[in-house]
Amino acid sequence: MTPADLRANNIPFSNVESDFADQLSSSNSPPEDRRSGLDQPRVRTDLHWTFASRSLFQNTELWIAFDPVTRHSYRFGVEEHWLIGQMRGKATLRQLCERFACHFPGKEFSIAELQAFCQGLRVRQLLCSTSIADWRKYSLHGGHIRNMLNPSNWVSWRARGLNLDPLLAWLAPRCGWLFSPLAVRFWSLVCLATLVVVLLDFPRLNVQTSGWNWLDQPTLYGSLFVVFLLTRALHELGHAIVCKRFGVRCPDLGAFIVLGAPCVYCDVTESWRLPAPWQRAAVAAAGMYVELIVAALASLVWLATVDGMVNIVALQTMLICSVSTLLININPLMRFDGYYILSDLTNEANLRTRADEACLRELYRWLIGQVAVESKPRLLPALRRRWMIAFSAGGWFYRASLTLIIATVLVALYESWNLAWLGKFLAVAVLITWWGVPMFRLTLNLIRTARHVGRSLRLLLIFTAIAIAASIAPIPNRKFAAGWVQPRQASGLFAPANGQLVRIAARDGQSVAANEVVFQIQDYRTQLVALSLDGAVRQSLAQLKSAQLSRYFKPIDVPTLENSAQSLQNQLEHARNSVQRLTLTAATSGRLLAMPATQQPATDQPASLPQTWTDASQLGRAVAQGTMLGAICSDDAIAVVPLDNSMLASVAAGTEVRMRVLAMGDRVFHSRVESVVQLADLDTAWRLLSTQVPQVGGATNSSASTAGTNTVRTEAGFAAIISLPDEQHALPGSRLQAAFVLPSHTGFQIASHWCHENLRWLAD
């Protein structure tokens, strides 16, 4: 490649992709560069230089310069490093060009290109245009002010902590065995074996996690917070120890606060001084390695213990370490460990910045047909350019999704604490700082560039087309709600009085005929009342008969005796009916559904209670009046989904709905709304069963194993009745999630509806 090709393609001197490629000009330098005072440039002498080996995507050698003031790292090629070594404040630009041509025969460049390169060094404060003391003061104070004024930092703060470098110098040699190659292989096998054992006990894990047993008490919030901080500290300590083992300084360990949630961070910026990419990748992976070890140990404790505080703390530790490692830290689309590992392996110090620049160039080229004036294009291989564009697009999409999820979770979380205003404020702050400000800046840059190159009309037409397409494009409309399953027809079996269960004539799920005996309760008080009334009636009838025979011999008030006997007869009939009601029979033919035995046992009863009232061990149990022992249900079932006011206007008979019964896994089936009725007209026993009754084990456990994961809206006044397919044999009381498929609407309709709902002058 000739020197002319180097200048035309805007490639740095060493023909590698450095951090200063965008500063080179392919033609004349700007007038302000000629008056910049860079005739005899002098590079700062406090920079730390490290020779880097070849990277994953580059076959040329690099030099890494570390700035101890700003703690930033910059990459240079071999020729650039030699040229910087000649900048001692004694040679002019022309002399530097002549020396370069003599030292590297066949390679030359113009003074304008060298001046642009020096301009890039000055912008990054690598030239001695100011004193080191003044620059240090400017960086330490002015930099903090700029960070505070940056809207992107309004929801997150970083507080510098302790300098643990002396402690790490003592600790790193003593923990070397944990990070040796043999130890890494050993703990990798342990983590894999532990994962297999945990998956074998997955039903227990599913019950504890889906039932929120590890976070259902106020005392567990504190333990979760402590576990989170300790595991974060161990994670960052792993980074620091490995960094120190490679001979690189770790200046401070501090706190990082995001949306009020504290976290621990460790400054390992100087790891970029390490020459080999695998060393820098090892520093980035050390935190996840330590977390996986902690997760494996916590999993062993969880497997070896029964339910209790130790078991719950072990479960919390296992979940935090494994989930944070697999879903967050290893993800390269965010600036966490996975991102830095990828950045180290590719030897790209600013991977996201480079990828975003490549993506923005394509965006500028598509919107206005030209890249930004201040951003000079860098020559990249076609495959790498596409890869970086895809990486940037994936990162933007992931961050957009994560931002919406975080905003939604914040609103829901603070609403549960009766602080809805604070949750909405934080959600708006997240959306504005993480998306509103960057999009506003991008729009301004696009408009400025379009005006400069005379493409404003093109940009306006494209924006107009995008706005029209977004306004008229159909958007799927879904309304989500929770409900329960109940039989279409049912009659409950309630205890008529306080008594004792003495007979169980049918089993749970058994088909029974009309008037067939199901339960029998014994109430000695009711029976004694019936017996005493029977004796009183007999005595009253005898007195009445005697009075009727002797009324001709002496005056006797026979009508009064007759009324008294009739009253006693009516009381006896009522008492006999009460005794007869103690035998519970099926009102109609159907299938028996036994209710959970939720009463507290007597002191002489065992602590573990069976699941339902049809269990044989329930014989002899005390039953309170009004207790629902079971129900006779029809074979066909329906789904009942309460509707709030916003859904009532759009959900009607015939609306398509997709449902998932929680007790039946992840299968989704389709149906339609039969009718919309008042919730007060329905039997509320099934609603209470689906929201209040705790169920553990047994046949009915499947419907309640997810207790606490969904809230059925019981304050709604109306409910949608949905028929279930015949093959869906869901237990009555099982919870379900429903998604009503409504007609699609457009962005214009959404905006119009919001305006009518929120703008007073339109609402009036």
DSSP of 141-172, one letter per residue? IIHHHHHHH-GGGTTEEEEEEE--HHHHHHHH
- Main-chain dihedrals φ then ψ at residue 162, nearest 5 degrees: -95, 150
Ramachandran assignment for 642, one of left (phi > 0), alpha (psi -120 to 50 degrees), beta (any other) = beta
DSSP conformational letter for 673: E
SS3 499: strand
- Cα(223)–Cα(214) distance, rounded to whole angstroms? 10
Structure tokens at 157: 């703060």
Are 754 and 646 contacting, i.e. CB atoms less than 8 angstroms apart? no
Residues recorded for the chain: 764
State residue 347's pLDDT score: 66
How large is the C-alpha radius of gyration of the chain?
39
State residue 129's pLDDT score: 56
State residue 126's pLDDT score: 83
- Main-chain dihedrals φ then ψ at residue 57, nearest 5 degrees: -115, 0
Q: Where are the beta strands (DSSP E) in 488-516?
A: 490-494, 499-504, 511-512
Exposure string for 549-560, b = 16+ CB within 10 A, e = fewer: eeeeeeebeeee
Element spanning 290, H or E: helix 277-304
DSSP conformational letter for 12: -
Q: What is the pTM of this model?
A: 0.58
- Cα(717)–Cα(678) distance, rounded to whole angstroms? 6
Structure tokens at 589: 């033919």
Mean pLDDT in order along the chain per 10 residues (764 residues): 31 43 41 50 82 56 76 77 84 84 77 80 74 45 46 59 77 86 91 91 82 68 83 87 85 69 74 77 88 92 88 89 78 82 74 84 82 49 80 86 82 79 84 84 87 86 88 86 84 84 84 86 80 80 74 69 80 80 83 73 44 81 84 82 82 88 79 86 62 37 35 65 74 83 84 70 50
CA diameter of the chain: 157
- Cα(309)–Cα(40) distance, rounded to whole angstroms? 70
Position 654, amino acid: G
DSSP conformational letter for 730: P
Write down all domains in the chain, each with its CATH number in brackets.
Answer: 3-145 (no CATH), 155-349 (no CATH), 378-472 (no CATH), 479-488+636-758 (2.40.30.170), 490-628 (no CATH)
DSSP conformational letter for 725: P
DSSP conformational letter for 699: G
State residue 213's pLDDT score: 67
State residue 300's pLDDT score: 92
State residue 400's pLDDT score: 84
Note the Cα 623 to chain centre separation in Å: 44
SS in 3 state form for 341-407?
Answer: HHHHHCCCCCHHHHHHHHHHHHHHHHHHCCCCCCCCCCCCCHHHHHHHHHHHHHHHHHHHHHHHHHH
A 10 A CB-CB count for 474 gives 11
Are 234 and 291 contacting, i.e. CB atoms less than 8 angstroms apart? yes
- Cα(617)–Cα(220) distance, rounded to whole angstroms? 35
